Structure 1
Amino acid sequence: MSAAPEAAVSADAAWATQAERSNAAMLRVMRWIAVTLGRRVSRLVLHPITLYFMVFGGAAARASTGYLTRVLGRPARWSERYRHIHHFAATVLDRVYLLRGNLHLFEVEVVGAEHLDAVLAGGRGAFLVGGHLGSFEALRALGQQRRGLRVAMLMYEHNARLLTTTLRAIAPDAVQKVIGLGRMESMLELRDWLDDGGVAGLLADRTLQGPGTADSASGRSRTHWIPFLGQPAAFSDGAFRLAALLRRPVVFMAGLYLGGGRYQLRFAPLADFSSVAANGRDAAVGEAVRRYARVLEQHCRETPRNWFNFFDFWAGSPGPQDPDDARSETP
C-alpha cells in the first residue's frame, strides 16, 4: 500500500476549504429572466452563456475538455465540449424552477425507488450520497410526489451560508433544510433528523473532513486512490465514515438531465453500516467508497454530459499502473 502524493493531499485539502462561490446579484438577474420570460425563452440565453464559458472559462473549461477526452476515450470535439457546458447551464437555469416548485415544467422518471423505500422502511432514515452529476434539486420532484419524504442537505457551515444566499436570490420562498457540518453539535442534529425518518443528502466527490464530519475518534478521513475513467483519482471517504459512525444505510442518488424538460432520478444501494462493528468499520468504509466510485464511473460513461466537476479531478494521481486503492490519512 503506497502513500498518496503530497501534492494530491494538498489539492484535496484545498477543495475541502474552497467555497462554493455564488454571485447573489447575478442570480437575481437570472431569476428575473427565468420568471419574467419563462423557461422556453430563458433557455435561449444559455447559448451565449455557453459560448462565453468556452472562450473565457479558463481552468474550468480545460477541465471539461480533459474529462470528456477521458470518458470518450478520444479527443473531445468542439460540439461535444459545447453540449457538456450547455447541459450544465441548463441544469443551473432549471434550479430556479425546481426550487420555486414549478415541477409541472418537467418530466421526471424515477428508477430504483424501491431501494430507497426499503431503507426508509427501517425507520432510521438514510444517507443519500450523490456527486456533481446532474441535478440534486431534481430530488424535489420526488419529495413532492411523496409528501412524507423529508430531505436535508449536508455541507460545511460557510457553504451552507452561501446556499442560503443563493436560495434567497433565486427562490425567496423556497424551504430547504440544511445541516451545516464542522461542529460537533452537527452530529446530534443529524442523528435526530435521521432518527425521525429524515433523509440526509450529500455529495461524496469532494473532500469531507473536520469535526462532526468523519471519524470523531481520529478526527480524520482517508483519501483512496481508485481507478476512475482510466486513471486513479482521489476519493475521500469522509461521507461514508460519517454514515458508518451513525450506523446508517447509504443509497446512491443521481438526478440525470436528459435534455429538454426531462430528468431521471436514479437510486442504487451502496452500503449498510447498521450492524458494522467498530473494528470492521475501516474495511466496510473502504468497500463503500470503492463501490461509489464504480457506480459514479458507470453513470459518467452512460451519460457523460452530466458530470459537472469542473476541476482537474485527477490532479496528483500516482499514475495508471499504481495500486488501485493506495490510501493516505489526511489531517
Structure 2
Amino acid sequence: MTDKHWSSTQERGTTFGIQLLVWLYRIFGQWLFRLILLPVIAYFTLTGNKARQASYQYLRQVNAHTQNPSKIRWYHVYQHFYQFGLAAVDKIRAWLGDVTLDDVTFHNTEVFQQLRQQHPHQGAVFIGSHLGNLELCRAIGENDSDIKINALVFTKHALKFQAALEKFNPNAQLNLIQVDSLGAETAILLKDKVDQGEVVIIVGDRTSVTQYGRVNYADFLGKPAPFSQGPFILANILDCPTYLIFCLKQKGRYHIYLEHFADSLKLSRTDKKQQLQSIIQRYAKRLEHYCLIAPLQWFNFFNFWQKDDKAHISRSNINNNEK
C-alpha cells in the first residue's frame, strides 16, 4: 500500500479562520491566545490521524537515535502539535512587527558580518528547513535589514497563512517566489536575484512536488531518508556562497543560526553523483544536530523516511508518464 506524498495533504483551516486567529491575537495578546490554542490543538491532535501517526513515528525515532528508553505517549504528540501552534503565533507576531532584533540571539556573528560585507556585490543561497521557524527569519529580515530576502515557495502549498497575514501586513507577501517546480525559468530568475546581491531561501527537507526519485538518501536520526536534490542542484547553478539557516525558540528567545556551508556548491562533471551525495549528507547531519536541540520544533507531519518511488508513495498532482 502506497502512502500519500506530503504535498497531497490538504491544509486544514480556512483563510478566514487564520484571519480570525490574527484578530484574537491583536485583541487579547499572546498569553490569552496561548490558552485559546489549548483546545484547538487538542482538536487537531484527535482528528489529524496522519499527522498524529507521523508525530509518533518521528518522536520514537528521536528516542531510538538518542537511546532514550522512555515511551512516547499521547501527551508528547500533543506537545509536538502545540509547539506547531506556538510557531504560528510567532509568525503572526513577527509580521505584525511585535518581534524585533532585541528578541533575537544571533549565533555565529562572524558569518552574518561576512554576509553583510559581500552585500550588495554578491548574493547568497540560504538552505533552511521545516525545523523551527524559518518564516520568522524572513519577517525580521524584511523589517530590520537592508538585505533583500526572497523565499521560494510552491504555489499550491503553504500560501494560505501568508494570504491571511497579508490583510494585516502587506509585506508578508513580499518577495515570495511562487513556483510549481524548479525549472530553467526559475533558475534564471533566481540567478538575477543573486547577481543583484539578494538572498534566496529554499528548504532542503521536502521532496519534489512533481517528480519521483529526484532524491538522495542520507542518514537522518539513524535511518536513511530521502532528501530532494533540487535545492542543492539549484545552489550549484547559482554558483554563489551557500549558507544553512535555522531559527529555534529556546527559553523564550529566538535563536538564529547561520552557518557557512560552501563558497560555491558547483559540482564537477567527473564525480557529480558522489559530490551531491556528500553535500546532502552534510546537510542532513546539520539538520539532525539542530533537530536534537529542539526536537518538538520539527514540523514535518508526514512519514519523513518513506521511500520516494511509485511503489511506496503517490503524488496526486503528477503526470502519469513521469518516472
TM-score category of the 2 structures, normalised to the smaller one: 0.7 to 0.9
Q: Distance in 1 between matches of 2:187 and 2:308?
A: 32
Partner of 2:76: 80
Distance 1:157 1:253, change over 3 A: same
CA offsets, 1:51-91, max 9 Å, x none? 22222221101211211111123421344323221111101
Deviation, 1:188, is: 2.2
Deviation, 1:280, is: 4.7
Deviation, 1:274, is: 5.8
Identify the match of residue 24 of structure 2 among 21, 33, 58.
33
Identify the match of residue 99 of structure 2 among 64, 80, 103.
103
SS at match of 2:254: strand
Q: Distance in 2 between matches of 1:120 and 1:180?
A: 26
CA offsets, 1:99-158, max 9 Å, x none? 122225972111124224435544321111111101012214652685222111012233
When normalised by structure 1's length, the TM-score is: 0.80
Partner of 2:195: 195
- Which letter maps to 2:73? R
Q: Distance in 1 between matches of 2:267 and 2:171?
A: 41
Partner of 2:206: 206
Q: Is the 8 A contact 1:232 1:317 kept in 2?
A: no
Partner of 1:324: none
Q: Where does structure 1 lack aligned partners over 5 or more consecutive residues?
A: 1-5, 211-218, 319-329
- Which letter maps to 1:222? R
1:311 aligns with 2:302: yes
1:230 aligns with 2:226: no
**What is the 5 A alignment of 1:144-223?**
147-159=145-157, 162=160, 164-169=162-167, 171-172=169-170, 174=172, 176-181=174-179, 182=181, 184-208=184-208, 222-223=214-215
Q: Is the 8 A contact 2:246 2:256 kept in 1?
A: yes
CA RMSD in angstroms, aligned pairs only: 3.0
- Which letter maps to 1:42? F
Distance 1:138 1:197, change over 3 A: same
Q: Distance in 2 between matches of 1:19 and 1:176?
A: 24
* Between 150-159 and 98-107, the greater mean CA deviation after superposition: 98-107
Q: Distance in 1 between matches of 2:231 and 2:113?
A: 21
Partner of 1:139: 137
Deviation, 1:195, is: 0.9
Report % sequence identity.
29
Q: Is the 8 A contact 2:142 2:148 kept in 1?
A: no
* Between 131-140 and 274-283, the greater mean CA deviation after superposition: 274-283
Q: Where does structure 2 lack aligned partners over 5 or more consecutive residues?
A: 310-321
Partner of 1:327: none
Identify the match of residue 118 of structure 1 among 114, 119, 125.
114
Q: Distance in 2 between matches of 1:114 and 1:291?
A: 21
